[in-house]
Amino acid sequence: MTSNLTKEDILDILNATDSEIIKYMSETIKYQENKLITYSKNVFIPLTEICRNDCGYCNFKKNPDDPEAIILKSKEEVLETLKEAEQYGCKEALFTFGEDADEEEVVQARLEEFGYETMVDYVVDICQMTLDETTLIPHTNGGNYSYDDLKKLKEVNGSMGLMLENSSKRLMELPAHKKSPGKNPEIRMETIENAGKLKIPYTTGILIGIGETKEEVADSLLAIRDLYDKYDHIQEVIIQNFTPIPGIEMENWPEPSFLDMIRTVIAGTLLFGDTDVSIQVPPNLNNETAQIFLLCGADDWGGVSPVSPDFVNITSPWPGIDELEKLTVDAGFELTERLCVYEKYVNSEWLNDSLIDQISRF
């Protein structure tokens, strides 16, 4: 299966103006028949804030000598947070951490103190603990991994994720990625493809407003579609807007326009409209404008937590579930909770018996 949209079609959408935008928006209606908008109730746990990348837009990474930095959370700390999340009815345990954090001596020393050689070994154990001692389902998002490391993580994760951000190597020369070797799109595409080879239910997406051209947006969306067509493992595509935060390198960088976000969400919806891939727009980054994206075809709000902040976008609090429901219903849709792994993947082709058993509790 391949999309009936060409690169030229996508560029027409991304360059649309005036009534053309309304026309394209109306075309998304045919993909909104069930009127359901989904979200996952999660707890967001940053295992470490140390990272080898130094992205110009990042508010997450901390320096190892920062006294407030999370060097590495202990299993006891993680379990305490997981147990609290259970009390709030959370079903997804989102584990994030800086890419290749164990290249830093302080993280390596803490790992050795805990009895582990690598960050991946520790994360696998954290996820196994989550399955053994809670009802939550692990979802790990910690950057690029080798094929072998993904294979280990697959056994203890309901789903995993990695933002492609953009498929253009040109962005490696711009403030967003010039100090971030892990943001090389060739490496990221390889990680996403390996996840497909291993049959890992996967989340990816693009970041809008970091210096990309419309053509690079089109290429990025098509690259994701190609991987989906090949492996069928991509369950949702995030369209995320850059938001400046005081203190980051790109604090004076312009945000993408509201219309650029509208056009990109429409393009994503129409590109994946003949599939069961969800289009997700983070509601906390679009408080005043979130509803319009539902009218452009977005059908998922992503992870929303009643327990923890969005540590990656710390200045953008999540809306409460009640508030999210009001926004959704007011736009003519129905809010419904989902798991971090979509239903089509809950079978022995994609998940082992242990994960299926954990998921069957809900």
Nearest to 177 by CA among 52, 64, 281: 52
Q: Report the CATH number that the domain containing residue 59 is assigned in CATH.
A: 3.20.20.70
Q: What is the pLDDT of residues 74-87, one digit of tens each?
A: 999 999 999 999 99
The lowest-confidence range among 11-15, 193-197, 282-286, 331-335 is: 282-286
Whether 293 is in a domain gets the answer yes
Whether 148 is in a domain gets the answer yes
55 is in an annotated binding site: yes
Place of tokens 């058993």: 357
pLDDT at site 309: 57
Q: What is the pLDDT of residues 120-141, one digit of tens each?
A: 999 999 999 999 999 999 999 9
Q: How many domains does the chain have?
A: 1
Domain residues for 323?
7-359
Residue 361 half-sphere exposure toward CB, CA atoms < 13 A: 16
Instruction: Evaluate the CA torsion angle 20, 29, 345, 155 in order and state its sign.
Output: positive
Whether 96 is in a domain gets the answer yes
Asked if pLDDT for residue 71 goes beyond 70, the answer is yes
Q: What is the pLDDT of residues 167-197, one digit of tens each?
A: 999 999 999 999 999 999 999 999 999 999 9
Q: Give the best-scoring range by mean pLDDT among 54-68, 258-272, 319-333.
A: 258-272
Whether 2 is in a domain gets the answer no
Asked if pLDDT for residue 245 goes beyond 60, the answer is yes
pLDDT at site 58: 85
51 is in an annotated binding site: yes
Q: Find out whether 327 and 319 touch, Cβ atoms under 8 Å.
A: yes
Whether 1 is in a domain gets the answer no
pLDDT at site 152: 98
Nearest to 341 by CA among 91, 62, 48, 112: 91
